[in-house]
Structure 1
């Protein structure tokens, strides 16, 4: 399962905004950047009856694994987990989140990576 289109974040201007304005949260295997959304950069029209949401992206470099199959499995794992976790949350404002994995993440099991991700989401105040 992939993140629903309304939860995906794309476009280099969005990522530039996250890198410049985002608050960083670190763990041994990944970095989470979170910022309030910039409506000018994203081409989604906001209607009054639509609740704010969290849009997210995941970056897994070639340093994590040279095999694209491995990187894509990790990306799908995180997308599935985030869609499950974030679908239960009603944020007060539109948020953008960006997760980048460090090469050291391959030393951990998938369940440990997801626990680390959950801790970072809690540390950032997105989840409880």
Structure 2
């Protein structure tokens, strides 16, 4: 299941704003930058009323083959789709995939994403 387009961070300007002003958390497979309540003039005109947006960044250093990189992105988008109902507030989040992620499976991505989002106070732990 792909992450709905309305929840995707697409413009390079948005990514750079998150990188400059966001809070950072990292684990073994993923590093996340999260920015709370981005200014409305920067947000995209089309989309949900909330400013919740996700972007996934994966380098060729992770794996040379695009097939592998795209599989990892699909797994992360699917994990985000499961966590989406639990996210409250307006956040812009950029997920950077680390080189160790090629050995990672969906359940590990889901667990690690959940832990990182709780650490950044995007999700509230249960």
Q: TM-score range by the shorter chain?
A: 0.7 to 0.9
Q: Is 2:115 the partner of 1:114?
A: no
Matches within 5 A, 1:80-91: 80-91=78-89
Q: Which residue of 1 aligns with 2:4?
A: 4
* Rg comparison, structure with higher value: 1
CA deviation string 1:86-106 (max 9, x = no partner): 134332xx2100000111222
Consecutive unaligned residues in structure 2, runs of 5 or more: none
Q: Which residue of 2 aligns with 1:58?
A: 56
Aligned pairs, how many? Answer: 123
Q: Is the 8 A contact 1:27 1:120 kept in 2?
A: yes
Q: Which residue of 2 aligns with 1:15?
A: 15
**TM-score between both structures, scaled by the size of structure 2:** 0.86
Q: Which residue of 2 aligns with 1:97?
A: 93
Q: Which residue of 2 aligns with 1:41?
A: 42
Runs of 4 or more, structure 1, over 6 Å off, are none
Change (3 A) 1:125 1:73: same
Q: Is the 8 A contact 2:33 2:94 kept in 1?
A: yes
Q: Is the 8 A contact 2:76 2:106 kept in 1?
A: no
2:66 to 65, 68, 75: 68
Q: Secondary structure at the match of 1:87?
A: helix
**TM-score between both structures, scaled by the size of structure 1:** 0.85
Q: Which residue of 1 aligns with 2:26?
A: 26
